[in-house]
């Protein structure tokens, strides 16, 4: 009996799989771009697919369907990965990001938190086709029909037309600043291919012309010849505490009469508190914050600082303080190999680090020992270090309030209002309440063992905790309730900075603008450490108060920046960018200028050029 052939549509494999790819492209565009798919999606995605399919039609003589299915699977996995990454980080990932896939296993809880069931629909066709192939009779008939040879001349014409369309999508949009806009203008597959293959390295500025005066002039600031508070904490220990995912709106936040961060509130009220302070991290997230704070350089354009800059001899805060006789150490409860931190700490010049081997695993929360263990063991070690006549610098990295914020029940320190239970925002609030509880214990222990009075203490958030694209409608309603306005990128990157020390004027709210890059020069002034031979891109925000310019990259489009009045998000360039006033007052006139846009890009180029031309470390000798 002759097997009945499938319908005409499925007799041409190139047409059949092109329709599948078009459907998946529309699916991906729906989740990746604010306006979703349009009629132009067809012309931006299918030409790239057709180039691959034409090659299959030309060269695949056997197992053609299997090759089509393999290509289908690879593109599907790419789309799926992009959707997941965008939901968590708000950006279109590229090959540089996927190169960090080895870190996924360590943060799988965070990944699963943004893995929604509807995303799995993109694999539906693969499941259906696989089930069909399990039926031998249907599989034989379908393979026979799908394996018919296409007209080679027609395929050649289709290949050439598709190639021309791809080039027309790519080349006019190469100069776009905003990576998400660029991906939408080029098409996802064209953008990924361009990011992978293009030799688009920025031109380096000769390091001999990169001076502090050039940097300050580009930023538009004038440095005081006699800064205030210079040496106010001279000779004291330095303790810098980096709070995981801690955003500024948490400070002084109460929900139904409950203080969320009572210890942070007390510290802010009795110290120098900077509420207009902003993150500047990149792909390395927490480790990037460590890099910025310890160098006053910007993050690299194409990867985490721990990978790109760790091989360099980095000028750093630990090295500056070692020249002043300080002992230096960093404390983190995860394994030191995570995000290549071991190499970063060597490049920064820390005398030693404390990681999972020191803190153990008896009371783990997410990726290492709890903040309670971190602070208890660290305070004991700092007390031991304080017995020496030698001052110390310690960088303490908290981690228990890490995404997805679902801390164990035995760590709950508050009862959430019913409307917050089971929500992403509710989990975040509860996790940060626990982080604040553990911080309060740390402060109490440091005061009890005498370390606190001997130290300059600096505390800041490392990066955003509540990604905009991960929020459900119920989360947006709760944030509207908390903030009294819509939650935007302005709130996303706003983190606190608090500086506390006996002998330094306290109990003040400082409304000048600051970013993580400013911590090193601000601390150096308080400790009386000169920066004459240390290039830095931040400024002492206790002295240079009138103006600041904070370039952003990675989490915000390249070319974005924060100035005194607003957050600017670049578009293809400056003209089509978006403006968000820092006050939240949308009626204010636009405050950003194209000169500031150019200056922000120039500052990034200066930093990239300077660090890239630093000498490499002699790693073999160190090991």
How do strand 455-461 and strand 494-500 relate by DSSP bridges? antiparallel
pLDDT score at 3: 42
Residue 584 has pLDDT above 90, yes or no: no
Of 319, 441, 326, give the one whose Cα is nearest residue 378: 441
Q: Is cis: bond before 404, omega within 30 of 0?
A: yes
Q: What is the pLDDT of residue 4?
A: 47
Distance from C-alpha of 162 to C-alpha of 156, rounded to nearest angstrom: 10
For residue 500, the tally of other CB atoms under 10 A from its CB is 22
Q: In the chain, what are the domain boundaries?
A: 8-197, 227-544
What's the rounded Cα separation, in Å, for the pair 123 and 73? 8
Tokens of 413: 């320190």
The three-state secondary structure class of 405 is coil
The pLDDT of residue 620 is 47
Rounded CA separation 390/540 (Å): 26
Cis peptide bond N-terminal to 118, omega within 30: no
- Burial of 496 by CB count in 10 Å (0-12 exposed, 13-18 middle, 19+ buried)? buried
Q: What is the pLDDT of residues 276-317, one digit of tens each?
A: 999 999 988 899 999 999 999 999 988 899 899 999 999 999
618: its two tokens? 């002699």
Q: Tens digits of per-residue pLDDT, 244-286?
A: 999 999 999 999 999 999 999 999 999 999 999 999 999 888 9
How far is it, in rounded angstroms, from Cα 345 to Cα 393? 13
pLDDT mean over 67-96: 87
Residue by residue, DSSP assigns 148-214 as PPPPHHHHHHHHHHHHHHHHHHHGGGTT-S-HHHHHHHH-HHHHHHHHHH---PPPPPPGGG--HHH
What's the pLDDT tens digit per position in 128-152? Answer: 888 877 766 666 666 666 666 667 7
CB-count exposure of residue 444 (10 Å: 0-12, 13-18, 19+): middle
**What SS3 class is residue 498?**
strand
Using CA atoms, how far apart are residues 552 and 516, in angstroms rounded to an integer?
11
Going by DSSP bridges, is the β-strand pair 514-515/508-509 parallel, antiparallel, or unpaired? unpaired
Tell me which of 279-293, 415-429, 556-570, 609-623 is least confident.
Answer: 609-623
Question: Edge-to-edge strand order for the sheet containing 561-562?
Answer: 550-551, 561-562, 566-569, 578-581
103 has pLDDT over 70: no
What would the pLDDT profile of 193-225 be if each residue is shown by its tens digit? 998 887 667 789 999 999 999 999 999 998 888
Domain 227-544's class?
alpha beta
pTM value? 0.89
First to last CA, the chain: 73
């Amino acid at each position: 009996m002759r097997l009945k052939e499938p319908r005409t549509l499925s007799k041409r494999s190139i047409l059949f799989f092109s329709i599948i790819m078009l459907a998946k492209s529309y699916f991906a565009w729906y989740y990746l771009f604010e306006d979703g798919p349009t009629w132009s999606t067809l012309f931006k995605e299918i030409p790239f697919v057709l180039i691959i399919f034409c090659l299959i039609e030309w060269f695949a003589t056997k197992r053609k369907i299997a090759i089509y299915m393999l290509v289908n699977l690879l593109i599907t996995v790419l789309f799926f990965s992009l959707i997941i990454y965008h939901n968590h980080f708000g950006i279109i990932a590229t090959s540089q990001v996927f190169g960090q896939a080895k870190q996924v296993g360590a943060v799988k809880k965070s990944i699963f938190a943004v893995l929604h069931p509807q995303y799995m629909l993109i694999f539906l066709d693969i499941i259906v086709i696989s089930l069909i192939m399990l039926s031998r009779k249907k599989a034989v008939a379908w393979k026979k029909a799908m394996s018919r040879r296409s007209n080679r001349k027609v395929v050649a014409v289709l290949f050439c037309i598709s190639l021309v369309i791809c080039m027309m999508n790519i080349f006019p949009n190469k100069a776009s600043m905003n990576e998400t806009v660029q991906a939408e203008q080029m098409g996802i597959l064209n953008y990924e291919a361009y990011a992978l293959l293009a030799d688009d390295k920025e031109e380096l500025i000769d390091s001999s012309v990169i001076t502090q005066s050039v940097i300050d002039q580009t930023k538009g600031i004038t440095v005081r010849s006699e800064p205030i508070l210079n040496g106010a904490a001279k000779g004291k220990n330095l303790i810098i505490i980096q709070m995981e995912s801690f955003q500024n709106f948490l400070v002084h936040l109460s929900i139904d009469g409950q203080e969320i961060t009572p210890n942070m509130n007390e510290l802010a009220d009795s110290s120098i508190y900077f509420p207009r302070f902003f993150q500047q991290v990149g792909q390395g997230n927490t480790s990037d914050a460590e890099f910025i704070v310890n160098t006053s350089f910007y993050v690299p354009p194409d990867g985490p600082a721990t990978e790109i800059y760790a091989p360099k001899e980095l000028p750093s805060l630990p090295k500056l303080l070692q020249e002043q006789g300080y002992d230096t150490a960093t404390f983190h409860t995860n394994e030191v190999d995570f995000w290549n931190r071991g190499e970063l700490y060597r490049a920064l010049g820390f005398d030693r680090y404390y990681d999972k081997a020191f803190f153990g695993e008896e009371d783990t929360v997410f990726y290492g020992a709890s903040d309670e263990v971190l602070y208890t063991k660290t305070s004991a070690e700092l007390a031991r270090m304080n017995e020496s006549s030698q001052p110390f610098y310690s960088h303490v990295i908290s981690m228990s309030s890490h995404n997805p914020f679902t801390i164990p029940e035995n760590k709950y320190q508050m009862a959430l209002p019913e409307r917050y239970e089971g929500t992403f925002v509710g989990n975040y609030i509860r996790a940060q309440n626990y982080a604040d509880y553990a911080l309060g214990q740390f402060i109490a222990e440091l005061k009890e063992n005498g370390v606190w009075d001997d130290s300059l203490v600096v505390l800041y958030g490392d990066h955003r905790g509540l990604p905009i694209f991960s929020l459900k409608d119920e989360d947006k309603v709760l944030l509207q309730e908390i903030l009294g306005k819509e939650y935007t990128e302005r709130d996303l990157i706003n983190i606190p900075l608090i500086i506390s020390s006996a002998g330094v004027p306290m109990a003040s709210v400082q409304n000048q603008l600051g970013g993580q890059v400013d911590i090193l020069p601000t601390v150096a002034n308080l400790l009386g450490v000169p920066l004459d031979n240390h290039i830095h891109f931040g400024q002492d925000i206790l002295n240079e108060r009138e103006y600041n310019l904070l370039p952003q990259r990675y989490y915000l489009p390249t070319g974005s920046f924060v100035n005194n009045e607003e957050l600017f998000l670049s578009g293809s360039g400056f003209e089509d960018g978006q403006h968000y006033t820092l006050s939240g007052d949308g009626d204010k006139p636009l405050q950003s200028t194209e000169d500031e846009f150019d200056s922000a890009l120039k500052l990034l180029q200066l930093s990239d050029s300077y660090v890239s031309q630093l000498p490499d470390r002699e790693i073999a000798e160190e090991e």
